[in-house]
Structures are given as structure tokens and as C-alpha cells.
A and B are shown apart, each in its own frame.
Chain A
């Protein structure tokens, strides 16, 4: 977050913008401290949590970041990211089962496949915005869901793909604890790529398109092509998460393509903070941990708890956890600045 996005006078201040600006204003040592703390937590995670849950957090973090790339930074609300997450999971699973590929290669195959199918879907979807964009992405995701359901000879239908091997050059990765550390570099690479995209000149054009597409077009930017590129990149990241998810659980089922998966991704982003990138990671960690805890709690209405939290987040923390925290820090800084003056 080294670049400041200047707010245009007169433009409506969105929650996303404030988060972006605030982090970029933070002094360098704060940013490095956050980075080091984040890495430390990532390295410690499977010691504090059940390792399989830690792997899930990595996967969902990638999906959340991919959704945020569109929702927070391009202004496109995708309600069909399960299509890319799921397609990649199936491709990675099939690649590992049929071709016996090592797991990082299988994950990459899946992610590339997700990017490829995102091309035609994105081409059609980015011509619309707002609710229409959301509906088009949802429609395509549902289509892929039904294809996977019907194509039982390849996808295993409702029973899914079982016993997906997890190979990496003779290393024994059957223990989730070690698999977490094998998967971590891939996840970190994905997160770094998202950060790099957001902070590149390309990313700044995306933010410009989000805030004022007409002006971006007037300035000579091919808006649709930018949106399509963002869409495909986002699908690739979602695919990275989906592929890892398939490897983490060593199976793929229809759930990965179900619309509730897309919905959960959006919830995670809203919870963490739209347009904050790292908020999605935080949201994923919290939601996955919460669901894990709830399933042992003996409490029967799990949907009620997560639903209530979502409603509260929307009502009280509209900027999400990360956004609200950044906002508080910024206010505190501003007040301190005033008293020092």
C-alpha cells in the first residue's frame, strides 16, 4: 500500500476508499510491523488451530481476496465466484487423480482452467453492472453447477471425487500439519499477487473505473477490457483457493460449485471490509474458525449465528472489521495531529 489514491473533489466518499487511503498513509514501520505480524500469525496458525482448519482459512482467504478485487477495487459485485473456485477444485482433483500431478501443479492447472472459463463469462458479464452483473455471474455459476451434477462420469456427480492424492516429490503430506506449510507459499504468492495488482498502475485504473467509469472512458481507458482483465485475474485467484481446497480435503464435491459458496465469499468480504484486501483474509479466518467452533458447540442453529453476525456487521460495522479498525486509527491520528498543531 505504498501509493496514495487521491480523492477526487466532489466524488462520493466510499468505504473502500477510506480504507485504501488510510493504510497508505500509515508510516512505513507500521506497515512492516503489520506485515511481520501477519506472517508470524500465518506461520504459527496450525499450532494454535486444528491444521485442517488452518488450511481452510488459507483457501477462503484467497477466495475472499479474489472477490474483493472485483467488489472493492473494480466495483463489480460477483455472486458467482463458486464457478471459479469449484471448476478449479474439480480440475485440480482430476489432474491429481488421472495424471498424478504433484499438488502445486494440479492447483495451478485448476487455477488456469478457472481463468480460461472466466474469459467468456467475464466477456458477457462485464457489459453489465450492479445487480445485473451479479445475476449474470450467478446464472453462469448455476449452469456450471448443473453441468458438474450431470456429468457424473467425470465429476462423480453428487458423490464427488474421492481420494484425491496429494503428491509432492515423495514428501509425505498426509498429515494436515505439514500440508499447511506446503500450501502456505502458494497462498502467500496469491495474496501477494492480489496486493501487487491493487497497487499497480493497472489497479489504480480499476479504482478509477469503480468511482467514475464515464470519466475513465473519457480519459481513454478501455473500461470493458480493464474490467475483463480484473475478472480473469480474480477468477485465477479464486481458482488458486479452490484448487488448494480440493487438495486440502483430498476430495471435491458439488458443494464447491453451489451458490452458497459464492454467498459465503461475499459475506466474508463484507465482514472483513470491502476494498481493504486484508479484511477478506481476516473475515475468512474468523468465519471458518467460527463455523468450526459452532459445529462442536452442540448449538443447532449455525445459520442463525452466522446470519446474525452478518446482519450486525452490515448494520454496525459497514466498513467491516478491517475498515472499522483502520478508520479508528485514522481518527485517532487526526485528533493527535490537531492537538500537536
Chain B
């Protein structure tokens, strides 16, 4: 009796296994997917300094993109089996390396998105090249992604050090900031920013009175801040290339020393909306910086930001919008190509001109896979003008896509 039951169980198991193997989700008849499904992978920092600026809410943004795509195409979609995988790289390039390979190999991911921290961002570009799968970098800043580390499968989507430095440096100088004192953290990002920033300021007719490297990380900037008003000629703007925790420290001390009252304005290299939120707009009032996107810029942005607020409880940073946009554009490309085959999708994307909620006058440059789009010079509002939570800045100037980014680097060999 027991033996019969055993045989029955065994054959049931075999049948079940066969059923699973044979059946499975059947895509539409003419679909040429490599594996029945499309999986997007968000690899970013979910526990450290970039967790607020991007982090888990970027996963939500990608989920929104998938839902919108499904709603748009319904049964005509290249596949309805689309999902998101995510992993936390903790800003460590070794973990990013392992996770990226694992996402591509084991989780069947067709495209990896996000990846903050330059060293991790560059490493994942290597992995994407080796695995021949797509990679949209959103939150990495280094121009090496479209320079010596560029490759066929890597797209640099949202911003880079050139955009930040030239945006703020050129535009702020044209807006009246003539004499600059620049402080920058002494590591690759800061050094790179300082060079590009100084070039931009001088190119626009401004003068860099002095520049100083600060230790990194650092919590005491008093030496540099006290020096600022004593320089000759006296600088009218302090350009800081600090980011994250260093920026928070510097801004707090800038306010302690009341430098704004002494006629030294503040311009910031890289800042996220979440940084302003945690520092409070009062601490940053009047500060100019370059933003890749702002949620309350126009009606289209605002509508999307309202949906995002409903999903997550916060307003989106440019990183969230860019993740949404990159996921959407990948899916659109796969849709029109009718496949998720990486080489075909890359061909579909190259040279494409796009206008969506994130990309304005957007174009995917074929030579180096830099995604060009309008950028914005933003200024933090004084506290009195802040009438709505998260609406902290006004866009002073739109930097046209053609000027926002550098021309293709000679170092890039696809």
C-alpha cells in the first residue's frame, strides 16, 4: 500500500516537473525574446549615503515604468512578463561587481539601472561589456563612463561631472558671479569637478581667485570658510564641490560664519533634492546648483511627481525620474525591436531622439552613449517663498541639451 503511494507521489512529481518545464508562460506567437521574459535590475545604494537620493524609491520608479508600459501596450506588448530585481551594493565596488554579474547570470536581468559611486559604476560597465547586456548608469558622475571606460552596452543617462561643473560654473558666472573661491574634496570626483568647474568659470569670463583641496571626508571647514572673505580680490561666490555628508557640514558652517551676509554667495557642484530637504531650504537659501531635472518644473513633471508621491510618500529626485525614464526607454526599444536581444536593442536606442518626463530634447548619442538632454540651473528659494513641502527651488535657467554635455571624448573607443 505504502509502496503504491510512493510510486504515485513520484509519478505526480515527474508530471509536475514536466508540466512546469513544458508549460510556463507562453509569450505572444511572434515574440523573439531570449528567455520568455524581461527583467530589469536596479543596483544601487539602499543603506548608505545615496539611499535617499536614489535607493529603494528608484526601484519603485522602475516598477511604475513597467506598470505604465503594460497599461500602454496591453496584449500587444512584446511580453507581459516583466519584473524588477534589486540589490544593494553598499557603495562598494566589489559587491557591485558580484551583484551585477549575479543579476545578469542568475536573475536573468536584461538591463541594469542606477549604480551610484564612480568606482562601482565603472566596474559594472566592465561587467556589462563582458556579459553583453545593457547597463544604464543613472547616478554615477564620472565622465569616464563615456570616456575611456565606454562600451557598446553602457549608457550614461542622467548627468556627469561636466554637466554639473559647466552648468553651475558657466551659468552662474553669466548670471553675475565674477570672482570665485573654489573648495573641493581631495579625491577623484572632487579633483575632476574642480578642473572642469574652473575651466567653465574662466570660459565664461569669471575669475578663480583661489582654490583649495580639503581632506576627504572632513567635518571642519572653518579654515577655508574664514579665508574666503579675506582673499584679494574678495570672492563673491564660494563654489563647493563637496557632496553628501561633507556638503552638509560645509553648509552648516558656512551659515555659522554668516558668509552670505559678508557678500560671499554659495554655489554647489552636486546636490540632490533630498539634500536640501535634510538641510532645510533656510540653510541653503540663495544657493545655485545644476539639476538634471526638477519635479515642479512644469505640468508634465508635476503630474508624474504626484503619482510618485502617492507611491512612495516623497517627491522624486532627478535620479528617480531618470530611473523611470531609462526603464521606459529600454522597454520601448525592446517593443519596437520585438526582442530583448541586447545588440538589437542597443541598435534601436543609438541615435534615438526622445522626449519624456525626464528627457527634454533628449538624444542618445551613438558615438559614446551619452544621453543628452536639457539641464537646469536651479536656485534654492528663501524660506518665505517655500509654500509647499519639497518645492524648494526655482529653475533660473534651462541649459539646452546641446550645451549641457561635453562633445564625445577621443578616449572612447566602442
List A residues at the B interface (Cβ < 8 Å).
Answer: 50, 52-53, 56, 149-150, 152, 156-160, 162-163, 174, 176, 245, 249-251, 253-255, 291-292, 294-296, 298, 300-303
Contact = CB atoms under 8 A, between A and B. Distances in A.
Nearest to B46: A300
Given A50-B106, A158-B118, A162-B149, A249 B94 contact: yes
A249 B51 CA distance: 24
Contacts of B118: 158-159
A126 to B, nearest CB: 30
B4 to A, nearest CB: 35
7 shortest A-B CB distances, which residue pairs? A158-B188, A157-B188, A158-B187, A253-B119, A52-B98, A295-B88, A253-B93
B101 A152 contact: no
Contact of B89 (A163, A295, A301): A295
A294 B142 CA distance: 28
Contacts of A159: 118-119, 122, 142, 144, 188
Contacts of A149: 186-187, 216
Contacts of B142: 159
B95 interface: yes
A174 B119 CA distance: 20
B102 interface: yes
B195 interface: no
Contact of B102 (A52, A162, A245, A294): A52
Contact of A295 (B90, B106, B123, B216): B90
B126 interface: yes
A180 to B, nearest CB: 13
A292 B187 contact: no
Contacts of B123: 160, 162, 249, 251, 253
Interface in B177-227: 186-189, 191, 216
Contacts of A250: 97, 126
A99 to B, nearest CB: 20
Given A158-B118, A250-B126, A291 B86 contact: no
Interface centre among A176, A251, A294 (most CB of B within 10 A): A251
B130 interface: yes
Interface in B90-127: 90, 92-95, 97-99, 101-102, 105-106, 118-119, 122-123, 126
Given A251-B126, A295-B88, A150 B97 contact: no
A257 to B, nearest CB: 13
Interface residues of B, number: 35
Contacts of B149: 162
A52 B101 contact: yes
B93 A160 contact: yes
Contact of B92 (A152, A157, A245, A255): A255
Contact of A298 (B86, B95, B106): B86
Given A251-B93, A254-B119, A300-B46, A162 B126 contact: yes
B126 A295 contact: no
B87 interface: yes
Contact of B56 (A253, A254, A300): A300
B47 interface: yes
A294 B144 CA distance: 30
Contacts of B130: 174
B409 to A, nearest CB: 15
Given A249-B97, A249-B98, A294-B88, 6 more contacts: A152-B188, A158-B188, A160-B123, A249-B123, A250-B97, A250-B126
B361 to A, nearest CB: 30
A52 B97 contact: yes
A302 B47 CA distance: 7
Nearest to B86: A298
A9 B105 CA distance: 58
A151 B93 CA distance: 19
Given A174-B130, A255-B93, A152 B119 contact: no
B101 A176 contact: yes
A178 to B, nearest CB: 14
A157 B99 CA distance: 23
A36 B342 CA distance: 45
B47 A301 contact: yes
A245 B98 CA distance: 12
A295 B99 contact: yes
A250 B139 CA distance: 22
Contact of A152 (B99, B191, B216): B191
B308 to A, nearest CB: 19
A250 B127 CA distance: 10
Contacts of A291: 95
A269 B282 CA distance: 48
A294 B99 CA distance: 11
B119 A160 contact: yes
Nearest to A254: B119
B301 to A, nearest CB: 28
A174 B126 CA distance: 12
Contact of B186 (A50, A150, A298): A150
